[in-house]
Amino acid sequence: MTSLPQLPPVVGQDWLAEHPDAVVADVRWYLDGRDGHEVYLAGHLPGAVFVDLPTRLAAPASAEQGRHPLPGPDAFAASMAEASIGDDSVVVAYDDAGGAYAGRLVWMLRLLGVDAALLDGGIDAWSGPLETGQGAVPEPGRFTPRGWAASDLASIDDAYAEPVVLDARAPARYRGDAEPVDPRAGHIPGARNAFFGDNLGPDKAFLAPEALRVRFAALGITDAEGVVSSCGSGVTACHNLIAMEYAGLGRGRLFVGSWSQYAATDRPAATGPEPR
């Protein structure tokens, strides 16, 4: 695995104010189809660049790979360079969902050794004025293409066979009560429901590391090594990976295709509140 960056995975407004050279990335995205770029234009943190999740942080969807496969190294490097993110950048990303979507960018960058963190509480916690419109076109960064380490990723076979798989989806989707986007309802047999929203307090800021350790201990996790993180399409699963790292538990693995890939197969599925 790539060594962990020096920057903690979650930082606050005070840290950002003390590091004005950080690249601020707005990664707002909506499962209901709202346009994140339009929301960005209506108001964003000063100087923030917009990073579109489906086109910059994912390859085209397919039944074989799921809704948000990882982009290839060259495509991702080009996207980061266009967003003024380079090999030596320090990146702080946010959204309006407690890091549910910005966490995908932070996880990807940290995986490659780039210092990146979520802004705790996101745009809702920002106390300063917002900027509207597109703003100045950022200077391109220099981002070296490099591949994703296989040791940081889990395959569909891993997700079915590994003893500790976390499913970050909301309980109703985990149970199979409803499935708004994927081919069928339910969850991977044996996966434990660990809704990403439970990493957060009412203000959408992360729980303290001590409280996160208690949360994951209740799920049987005291060390992230060996943990496979899944969700609908490999996005909110990154939130659990970041939360475990923030809690001092180390780094788990991401099942990128997640339920969107699994549900497109004829593998067995489980329903109800229990793993099996």
Number of domains the chain contains: 2
User: pLDDT band at residue 3, thresholds of 50, 70 and 90?
Assistant: low
Same domain, 103 and 168: no
Same domain, 18 and 39: yes
Annotation says 238 is catalytic = no
Same domain, 21 and 82: yes
From the candidates 168, 231, 241, 263, which is the catalytic residue? 231
Interval 108-150: pLDDT, tens: 999 999 999 999 999 999 999 999 999 777 789 999 999 999 9
Last residue within a domain, chosen from 128, 148, 168: 148
Same domain, 134 and 183: no
Whether the predicted pLDDT of 1 surpasses 50: no
Q: What is the mean pLDDT of the chain?
A: 96
Residue at 207 is within a domain: yes
Residue at 58 is within a domain: yes
Whether the predicted pLDDT of 4 surpasses 60: no
Residue at 3 is within a domain: no
Same domain, 14 and 144: yes
Residue at 235 is within a domain: yes
Residue at 268 is within a domain: no
For the ranges 4-8, 24-28, 104-108, the lowest mean pLDDT is seen at 4-8
Per the structure, the complete domain to which residue 238 belongs is given by 151-262
pTM of this structure: 0.96
DSSP for the chain, please give it.
-PPPPSS-SEE-HHHHHT-TTSEEEE----TT---HHHHHHH-BSTTPEE--HHHHS-PPPBTTTBSSPPPPHHHHHHHHHHTT--TT-EEEEE-SSTTTTHHHHHHHHHHTT-EEEEETTGGGG--S--B-S--SPPPP------PPPGGGB--HHHHHH-S-EEE-S-HHHHHTS--SSSSS-SB-TTPEE--GGGGB-TTSPBPPHHHHHHHHHHTT-S--TT-EEE-SSSSTHHHHHHHHHHTT----EE-SSHHHHHTTS-S--B-SSS--
Interval 239-276: pLDDT, tens: 999 999 999 999 999 999 999 999 999 999 999 999 98
Same domain, 40 and 114: yes
Mean pLDDT to the nearest integer, 16-42: 96
Residue 131: CATH number of its domain: 3.40.250.10
Residue at 276 is within a domain: no
Same domain, 192 and 155: yes
pLDDT at 276: 83
Mean pLDDT to the nearest integer, 76-94: 97
